[in-house]
Amino acid sequence: MDFQQIFGKPPETQASAPGRVNLLGEHTDYNDGFVLPTAIPQSTKVQLGLSSDSQHHFYSENLNEQVSILDINHTPSGFASYIFGCIQVLQTAGYTIPSLCVYVKSSVPMGSGLSSSAALEVATLRAVRQLLNLPIDDVEIAQFAQQAEIHYAGVQCGIMDQMASSLADTEHILFLDTRTLERRVMPLPEKAEILVIDSGVPRTLASSGYNQRRAECEDAARSLGVKALRDITDVEVTEKLPEPLHRRARHVVTENNRVLEVLQGVSSVRFGELMNASHASLRDDYEVSVPALDILVELLQKTPGVFGARLTGAGFGGASVALVAVGEARSIATHVLEQYKQAGYNGQILVPSLELSDAA
């Protein structure tokens, strides 16, 4: 089923946005900290047309689900909440948005920590900008997307995912200061490529655990008398905090310092060491890993050709990311997934994408 078949006419415009994987700087964005994401090849495409009635109509090809908005005072659930949120934040900002038909198709894996929601938001906003010729830039697109997720999807997210989807590409790393939005495009580490493997474990506690960690960080910042944990650079300062706030804050401070070290320029080997340290911190201090992810990451870290590996995304399941020798990602993934299966788990390679390379 395409746009024409669903809505009875061809689309008037379309836009797309990629998912992202975060190489370093996990759970630092809502602490005003520093992050290092990059875009992945998989993307979400949104096609738009004007609605012939006074209602919005949204269709997801992946879910084979159609939603019509009968009451703009009631936020729909599921995929429609993100699209509806984007429309509403634009209206709140003073733009007049007509009733729309929206068709969504995505190759970004859902539930793996690769920001399928941010890709949907950014693609939707890009398409609306194009359709109505709105005077908003790519940073504003990311900010509107974040507001849509917070106020309409109910996730108290930082801005990293939306900034990465709006500004990053697959050939570079995006350094981002989430407080000032200062950013720098950096090359991938020399003679290295990115490998992303899904653990096969759904992120069952991701939103509840995420919101709890965010609250703990806010408590820690208050106790230390700072606006956000980003303002602490000496990890020893966190030792005065009670548990678990001490460990939560220690992760954020050390994680920010790892990102800032990369900003000064490091080798692929050192970048990998920092990724390994990041995973240990996420596992032990931030407590957002799960046994399957720990096994998968350990298998990756032990494999020749892997510089470093860690969980990526909110945790509690989802995917791992590794920095590996260029040209070796697929063979490393095959080797690791065989061992992972012997340990009783079923994972799958997400990047490099088998589907996209076959199509090419």
Report, as residue numbers or ranges, the catalytic residues.
161
Q: Please enumerate in sequence order all residues whose Cβ is within 8 A of that of 344, keeping only pairs 6 or more positions apart, or say none.
A: none
Q: Is there a contact between 43 and 155 (Cβ–Cβ < 8 Å)?
A: no
CA dihedral 284, 287, 288, 289 (to 10 degrees): 50
N-term to C-term CA, the chain: 23
- Distance (Å, whole) CA 317 – CA 206: 8
Question: What are the structure tokens assigned to 191, written together?
Answer: 């003679």
Q: DSSP letter string over 315-355?
A: -SSSEEEEEEETT-HHHHHHHHHHHHHHTT---EEEES-HH
Helix (H) or strand (E) holding 309: strand 306-312
CB-CB contact of 41 with 353 (8 Å): yes
Rg (CA), the chain: 20
Structural contact between residues 46 and 12, judged by C-beta atoms closer than 8 angstroms:
no
How many angstroms separate the CA atoms of 95 and 197, rounded?
Answer: 41
Phi then psi for residue 105, to 5 deg, are -135, 130
Which helix (H) or strand (E) segment holds residue 44: the answer is strand 34-50
Q: How far is CA 194 from CA 13, 21, 41, 70, 352, in A?
A: 32, 9, 11, 44, 8
Q: How far apart are CA 225 and CA 149, in angstroms?
A: 29
Tokens of 312: 């990526």
